[in-house]
């Protein structure tokens, strides 16, 4: 039970970080920086404002699944040793 709550906490934190990035970064970086990758990320975050819920759900799914797989994989590695 404790393991599931830790995974859920990490998932919620990932969603909150995603929402904060979508809300804050486009307001802070308003002009092109000259670095293609940074400008591309800012454009992506600007476009995500319109679909914040779906982006948050995808972020939650990725965070939860990766944490769950990592936890299961580590358990099998520890048992093998």
Distance from C-alpha of 32 to C-alpha of 39, rounded to nearest angstrom: 6
Q: Does residue 70 carry a pLDDT above 90?
A: no
Q: Which of 68, 57, 78 is nearest to 3 (CA)?
A: 68
pLDDT band (50, 70, 90) for residue 7: confident
Q: Summarize the confidence of residues 8-23 as an average pLDDT.
A: 94
Q: How confident is the model at residue 74 (pLDDT cuts 50, 70, 90)?
A: confident
Q: What are the tens digits of pLDDT across the range 34-48?
A: 999 999 999 999 999
């Amino acid at each position: 039970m404790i393991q599931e709550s830790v995974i859920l906490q990490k998932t919620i934190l990932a969603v909150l970080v995603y929402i904060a990035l979508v809300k804050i970064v486009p307001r802070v970086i308003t002009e092109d920086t000259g670095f293609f990758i940074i400008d591309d990320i800012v454009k992506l975050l600007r476009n995500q404002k319109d679909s914040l819920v779906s982006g948050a759900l995808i972020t939650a799914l990725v965070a939860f699944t990766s944490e769950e797989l990592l936890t299961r994989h580590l358990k099998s590695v520890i048992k093998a040793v």
